Amino acid sequence: MRALVVDDDDLVRSNVAEVLSNEGWEVTEAGSAERALELLSRNVWSLVFCDVRLSAKNDREGYDVLRNFTEQQPAAQIILMTGHGSAVGALDAVSSGAYDYLMKPFEIDDVKRISQAVRRGIEKRARRSISDELPNLAVYTSDIELIGVSAAFVEVMKLVGRVAATNLPVLITGESGTGKEIVARAIHRRGPRADKPFVAVNCGALPAELIESELFGHVRGSFTGATVDRRGLWQEADQGTVFLDEITETTLGFQVKLLRALQEGEIRRVGSNQTMRVDVRVIAATNRDAEEEMRQGRFRQDLLYRLNAVTIHLPPLRERRDDIRPLAKYFADRTIGAEAGPIGFSKEALWMLENYEWPGNIRELENAIVRATALCDQVVRPEDLPERIRRSFKTPIKETNGPRGAPSSDDEILLPLSEVERRHILRVLTSTGGNKQAAARMLGIDRTTLQRKLERYELDGS
């Protein structure tokens, strides 16, 4: 029951250490990666809280500590802490063997929750006399286009990191344009099949009469036009991963054959009497409510339960507005190219981007930024954005018996929601006497999101 807290910030280190001590742990503190690695060889550690950025010179020293601990003491549970967190950082950490990934500022309850969960795991292993070792995965910088810093997306990436190392089938749900295929590729790249094929199939784009042939192949003469034997995409993905997008668009007849392929690990080409074994991991996705499709009789219950061993729900962009700014910058930089210089955004354009509802999600945002960067002169302004975005912030106001001085223009722009939000947060903080935790509960958001808003609106010193 030994715990190690590694952080170059004395206050954070002592606070975490105090919480763990109160929870019954024997705690040791270290202010650097070098000191942590020195302590690694001296004792057996059950729990390690380690900051990612332990010095100004190296912003990944925490990952060095993680790698050494997973190699030398794989039973230790490592929690990475960071004040510069992101969704990809969470994915990197968890898929590399970290138990959890905390974004600063976090709450005392977060430390207690992890402490108690690790303690229960130790007690359970002691009863079974079995050592459950973490997978020893190499730490590397992400090359995946997963941009985001919002708490909602970070939690999704933690789950992605945990499920990637398994062979379980995964069902990814979310609205159109939320990046389901990108997440599916992330699962594949972080798993044991990373060096094998990843085959993506859009089930909704294939005619019902051809989907079986496309996936499982056919033999010559099985139907008109089948002049040669043909391997299907399922066989092309042998030892790798098949991604079935829009899975709820398939017919019930095909779903029966798909279920057999999942259950038995065997396929049969169209027109053939022979089966062949194919080893694939299946990741499916849908933008519909799969449970409702099942209740309506359009999707087989047994297939749904076979596919959703793990379900990952991608939140729409309107529920992760903290990610809009970094996504916009990423799309702008990628579109214009480094040689053309950086693209800036005016305050008004950023406000529109961050407050638009984005029914098309990330795909719609990307299209909007591509258009804006093509039209702008190094700075994106409201007039560079698509008309549908600009129009959404204009409300017709009729010349009726309204209050004196009411605007009469049909193109009156409403006051910024950011200012409304700023004032509301200030009122809530005043009512709670400056208690941020209570204010976050009253606002219906987590403490990390509130802290970002306070910094954005320069209320942190209020």
Question: pLDDT digits over 295-329, tens only?
Answer: 999 999 999 999 999 999 999 999 999 999 999 99
At 319 the three-state DSSP class reads helix
Give the residue-averaged pLDDT of 415-440: 74
Q: Given a cut of 90, is residue 459 above it in pLDDT?
A: no
Report cis status (omega within 30 of 0) of the bond before 135: no
Q: Given a cut of 80, is residue 396 above it in pLDDT?
A: no
Question: pLDDT digits over 58-72, tens only?
Answer: 667 888 899 999 889
Question: pLDDT digits over 83-99, tens only?
Answer: 888 888 888 888 888 99
For 71, phi then psi, to 5°, come to -80, -45
d(CA 450, CA 169): 36
**Closest CA relative to residue 115, chosen from 77, 82, 89:** 77
Give the residue-averaged pLDDT of 418-429: 76
Question: pLDDT digits over 202-246, tens only?
Answer: 998 888 778 988 899 888 877 777 778 888 899 999 999 999 999
Cβ atoms within 10 A of the Cβ of 430, count? 11
Domains of the chain: 2-128 (3.40.50.2300), 166-315 (3.40.50.300), 320-391 (1.10.8.60), 417-456 (1.10.10.60)
* Higher per-residue confidence, 200 vs 141: 200
Of 16-30, 201-215, 370-384, 432-446, the range with the lowest mean pLDDT is: 432-446
Q: Given a cut of 60, is residue 35 above it in pLDDT?
A: yes
Q: Given a cut of 90, is residue 25 above it in pLDDT?
A: yes
Q: What per-residue confidence (pLDDT) applies to 112?
A: 93
**Helix residue ranges per DSSP H, 209-346:** 211-216, 233-236, 252-264, 290-295, 301-307, 324-336
* Residue 337: pLDDT band with limits 50, 70, 90: low
Q: Which long-range contacts (CB under 8 A, 24 or more apart) does 25-31 make?
A: 25/1, 25/115, 26/1, 26/2, 27/2, 27/3, 28/2, 28/3, 28/4, 29/4, 29/5, 30/4, 30/5, 30/6, 31/6, 31/7
Q: Given a cut of 90, is residue 123 above it in pLDDT?
A: no
Question: pLDDT digits over 353-378, tens only?
Answer: 999 999 999 999 999 999 999 888 88
Q: Given a cut of 50, is residue 400 above it in pLDDT?
A: no
Give the residue-averaged pLDDT of 39-50: 91
pTM of the predicted model as reported, rounded to 2 decimal places? 0.70
Spatial CB neighbours of 8, under 8 Å, sequence gap ≥ 6:
31, 32, 51, 54, 55
Q: Are 186 and 305 in contact (CB under 8 A)?
A: no
DSSP strands (E only) in 190-280: 198-202, 241-245, 266-267, 276-277
Q: What per-residue confidence (pLDDT) applies to 347?
A: 92
Give the residue-averaged pLDDT of 2-26: 93
Burial of 230-248, coded b for 16+ CB within 10 Å and e otherwise, reads bebbbbebbebbbbbbbbb
Q: What per-residue confidence (pLDDT) applies to 427?
A: 77
Give the residue-averaged pLDDT of 75-87: 89
Q: What per-residue confidence (pLDDT) applies to 56?
A: 67
Give the residue-averaged pLDDT of 443-457: 80
Q: What per-residue confidence (pLDDT) applies to 271?
A: 83
The percentage of the chain sitting over the pLDDT mark of 90, rounded to a whole number, equals 52
The percentage of the chain sitting over the pLDDT mark of 70, rounded to a whole number, equals 86
Q: What per-residue confidence (pLDDT) applies to 340?
A: 62
Of 8-22, 204-218, 402-416, the range with the lowest mean pLDDT is: 402-416
Provide the token pair at 287: 């933008």
d(CA 440, CA 59): 30
At 288 the three-state DSSP class reads coil
Q: Given a cut of 80, is residue 175 above it in pLDDT?
A: yes
Question: pLDDT digits over 260-292, tens only?
Answer: 999 999 998 888 888 899 999 999 999 999 999
